[in-house]
Structures are given as C-alpha cells and as structure tokens.
A and B are shown apart, each in its own frame.
Chain A
C-alpha cells in the first residue's frame, strides 16, 4: 500500500468551476499536510499547508483535513487556465527537527476554456 495516494488524473474542469483534488495517507501519526503545485518542467511550489482538522482557506484555495479518515483535499474555486498543473500532496513523518515529507505521485489538473 502506498503511503500517500492521489488519483493521477488528468482531472479536467471548465474555467470558473471548482476543482477538487483528493489525497489519502496511511500513517496515522502524520501531523502536517501540504499541497504543492508543479508546472511542467518546474520545481514544486508550496500553495497550502494544514495542521489541524477542518478547513483552511487562502484566496481561491481551501485545504480540508480529516485525520480520522486519513484524508486531505484541496479545493480550487473559480479555476483558471493558469491553475493547470500537477498538484502534489505531501505528508510529514516527523524526524527530529527535519520535516521528512512523503509525497504522492500527484494529480494533473487541466482547466479548459
């Protein structure tokens, strides 16, 4: 069983719609959860972090965490073509002071005109 699982997609949504990206993880002691956006050929860019159950909103992005279900999601409202990218879910298996992350394989999002 993979430690962090994501649907590889592509997830196709029309411009202006809500994109919903999902991620499940297997390690129950995980404490920190992150969403990174990665454009083709570029390095990952942090867009959201969430540490406690519930929702966290930042602009058009909302991260949702449910530790009991071991599930974290990312909602993108009013999707734009510039949101087309691969979204990586990352989970923290803390190792000392280092934030040892385990990444999912990513979900590719396509926002269509």
Chain B
C-alpha cells in the first residue's frame, strides 16, 4: 500500500541531545513537509522540500534541520537549540498542487 510512514511513534529527548525523526513515502510525491502541532493548536510549518537536494524554511525553522537526499525520505532533526521540542510532529507529502496527505505522526517529549 502507498503511504507515508513516520517513525518512531513516540520519542524522548534528553537535555542537550539531538534527535532525528524519520519520514518515508512511497507515493512518488515530489514535495514533502514537516509540521509541528502543540496542544489545542493548528499545524505550523517547519521545513518543506519541493525536490531532492532542495528545501526551504517554514515559519518555525529555528532549532530544526532537514535533508532531502532521496525523493522518498525527508528526515527531521530536532537539535539541542530547540528549547521547547515537546510537540506532535507531522510529515506530509504532495504532488503538483494537490492536497497534502499526512503520516501518523511522532510524539516527542523531553525526559
């Protein structure tokens, strides 16, 4: 089945630690996105990528980094510079200007 796979489902970060969230899609979509959702809030765009080896900052990129070495994969690293990383992280993909579809998300918490 085609879809977007995010892993892990739950992740815990220690102080000063970088953690990487995985996002893989087999939909052959060109564009991929990372969002952050805080309780009771909408989604805020962290980074997005339109093609391989290219990505742009979204509205809240500080403290995060991404790479897009393969069309299928768009991992997100939450660095130690992100002081409030606890949130629900959602990866999405799309093709052309069609609607975005989401993975199941990763919940990140601080230990």
Contacts and interface: CB of A to CB of B under 8 A. Distances in A.
A101 B104 CA distance: 18
Contacts, number: 67
Interface size class of A (residues with CB under 8 A): 20 to 34
Contact of A8 (B40, B43, B96, B99): B40
B98 interface: yes
Contact of B48 (A49, A90, A100): A100
Interface size class of B (residues with CB under 8 A): 20 to 34
A49 B99 contact: yes
Interface of B: 30-31, 33, 35, 40-45, 48-51, 56, 58, 90, 94, 96-105
Interface of A: 4, 8, 31-32, 34, 42-46, 49, 88, 90, 92, 94-106
